[in-house]
Structure 1
Amino acid sequence: MDDLLNSLTRLFRQAYEQGVEDGRKERDHRFIKRAEMQGEFGIPVDTFDSDFRGKPGFPTYRFGTAERYYIPAVSQWILEHQERN
């Protein structure tokens, strides 16, 4: 019985670690423009400008004079700032 439990524990751990590794590989590492927010997040530009852009802590990156938004950082910010009922 102990052998079965140890085997299952090892199998579940391997599956978990593989899932974590696969999740890291699939992450979208692009920087997007303001106009692409709707396509990526479903946030219309007007709503983005009024409710997200310029908020303290909102992840914005500058490349020269251009503002860009790193998809994983924006996703994380949205998760951390969502309102829960």
Structure 2
Amino acid sequence: FIAASINLISTLLKIGVRNMLSAELFASSLVADLHLIPALVIMMNSGFNSIVFGLALGGLVANAFSMVLILIEAGKSRDDF
């Protein structure tokens, strides 16, 4: 619940950002939301642990990809100065 809610808040904060890779960051955050929210719903309702684990792992991969994009953007913006 905590991971899904924090990721949803993070996605909402990325809506109006106009950076170099803002569209990619928003898309990867949205993919993580689309993995974590159904995982939360499935876990609360039925408890299929294998499906929940797979969805949570997909959210983890999407967040890792988002972190790589943030590092690339930070490196590019530092080079511009």
More helix by share: 2
Shorter-normalised TM range? 0.3 to 0.5
Q: Which has the higher contact order (CA 8 A, sep 6+)?
A: 2
TM-score (structure 1 length as normaliser): 0.34
TM-score (structure 2 length as normaliser): 0.35
More strand by share: 1
